[in-house]
Amino acid sequence: QVQLVESGGGLVQAGESLRLSCAASGDTFRRYVLGWFRQAPGKEREFVAAIGRGGHTYFADSVKGRFTISRDNAKNTVYLQMNSLKPEDTAVYHCAADSRIIMSSYRQDSAYDYWGQGTQVTVSS
């Protein structure tokens, strides 16, 4: 099992940047595929980005070119760097992890067994 704790959310203006962090504990971090998802009020949770065990990255079309995802296996932490933020990026952001996921499923929230509590990101116009 792994426990996940996000941090780094906040209130920013459109065009600004934020970096979210997700610290993991409890198991061998490098075994896990890591994802970021977000949920806005009244909307379903949606995929944002994922990073594989070997470091390959994947992004939703809505954030491609603006967000990057990275992992530091020595620090048991995954990051989501968000640049050029837009009001439509406003949501609660959750990190997720799973050790058994196959990469064809990385966009599906049901494929991840472990979730953090989320961190609020609010982008004002």
Average pLDDT of each block of 10 consecutive residues along the chain (125 residues)? 95 98 90 96 96 94 98 96 98 96 89 96 97
- pLDDT score of 103: 76
Dist CA 78 CA 91 (whole Å): 18
- pLDDT score of 28: 85
Q: CA 111: distance to chain centroid?
A: 14
- pLDDT score of 56: 94
Tell me which residue of 118, 113, 115, 112 sits closest to 91, measured CA to CA.
Answer: 118
Token pair for residue 91?
């949501």
- pLDDT score of 104: 82
